[in-house]
Chains A and B, each alone.
Chain A
Amino acid sequence: MSSFSRSAQQWATFARSWFLIDARMQPPGKIATMCSIRLQGKHKPIYHALSDCGDHVVVINSKHIAFSGNKWEQKVYSSHTGYPGGFKQVTAAQLHHKDPKAIVRLAVYGMLPRNLHRRTMMQRLHIFSEDELPYDIQANLTEELPQPREIPKKLSEYTQEEIDAFPRLWTPPEDYKMK
């Protein structure tokens, strides 16, 4: 923009920003795609694979992640220690219990390009299982990204007016004992 000074414009284009994502009740795959795009720098028009233009991403509440379907029981994370008989297979629920940050971390790792930059990009990803952030990271945050999934309202969260405004679809017969 013509109104900004040259140094301010330069700073705004090339500075490394810090993004915040709240993963409460969100599917970890969608969180991971948002993270990987920003860690690579693909959200910037000045992107180039060699120019190290990725940003920092902070994910909070990774303990309260929500999987769709029955993935908590069906999805299996496999690894091999390298020793014979060292093939380990753990379900998503067991892995989450052992380490609440692992699911998001593995999802982002799998979505980054398979080159030597991947490790540095993972170092720029900061995952926290709960709300609390250390002060130095909190001071660096610039933008909060909107959540990918709309969280549905529980029945207890609706106000009485909203419940009354919804029409009764059917009337029970007079001689039926309700509930």
Chain B
Amino acid sequence: VGAASPALSSQCKMAGVTIKSNGLKKESTINPTRTLTLTLSLSHTLPIEGQILEVPVGAQPPNPTAKCPIYRWNLQNKYNYTDVLLLSQFIRSDGGMLPRRVTGLCPEEHRKIAICVQMAHRAGLLPDHKPKLPEDHVPKRPKPELNRYLTRWSIDSVKPIYKTGLKWCKKRMPVGHPILKNNVRYGVKPLYIKH
């Protein structure tokens, strides 16, 4: 904020008069004995200071040589849409995913986490990560407050199944996502995706 513009300072040096040049102040000829303050006064400036915080070193990953963070911590097929503590590390404050080049995730895991984050948002498990709307925003039609979980498709994009069809050509209602089919299951029952 208080940076001196190089053009101004060079001009001052040529003239032989040193002026404390501020980027916000207008250029003027100042008599060294008298001080002249101009309209844009310094009190209107807000000094902002950025500090790089020292993050305390926590637990070490069990597999440090892997490239993707999920492979480093051996969580490959072990997370779901309910593991919000894991998913919240990869999202922005308005709910969107962080880019893969920043988080360092491999493409498959990035896609899996994106899908789990989508399902968690639709299930209402991330209430503080909503996008910021202007204060006078009025929704066009009243949103029904219905509880849901494992929603694959977006709510507005789905059409009702008026004719479900016969047994050999039944139109099923998908639940969950097939990308998570390799997840570890600690029971006998197989994953049931087409309801």
Question: Known interface pairs A89-B162, A170-B69, A174-B52. Does A74 touch B173 (Cβ–Cβ under 8 Å)?
Answer: yes
Residues 60-98 of chain A, each 1 if its beta carbon lies under 8 Å from chain B, else 0: 000011111111111110000000000001010100110
Residues of A in contact (CB 8 Å), total: 38
Cβ-defined contact, B155 with A69, below 8 A: no
Q: Are B88 and A65 in contact (CB under 8 A)?
A: no
Question: What is the CA–CA distance of A176 and B103 in the complex, to the nearest angstrom?
Answer: 11
**Contact partner of A169 among B73, B150, B158, CB < 8 A?**
B73
Contacts of A76 in B (CB 8 A): 160-162, 164
Q: What number of residue pairs across chains A and B have CB atoms under 8 A from each other? A: 118
Which of B126, B127, B173, B176 contacts A71, CB < 8 Å?
B173
Interface residues of B in 99-149 (CB under 8 A from A): 102-104, 123-129, 144, 146-149
B84:A154 contact, CB within 8 angstroms = yes
The answer to whether A69 and B125 have CB atoms under 8 Å apart is no
**Which residues of A lie under 8 Å from residue B149 when comparing CB positions?**
66, 68, 152
Residues in B with CB closer than 8 Å to A167 are 58-59, 61, 73
Interface residue count on the B side (C-beta < 8 Å): 50
Residue from A65, A70, A155 in contact with B126 in the complex, judged by beta carbons closer than 8 Å: A155
Chain A residues proximal to chain B, CB less than 8 Å? 25, 64-76, 89, 91, 93, 96-97, 152-156, 158, 162-163, 166-174, 176, 179
Q: Which residues of B contact A (CB under 8 A)?
A: 52, 55, 58-59, 61, 69-70, 72-73, 81-82, 84-86, 88-89, 92-94, 102-104, 123-129, 144, 146-153, 155, 158-162, 164, 173-176, 195
A-B interface, 5 closest residue pairs, ranked by CB to CB distance from nearest: A69-B175, A66-B147, A152-B82, A169-B69, A170-B69
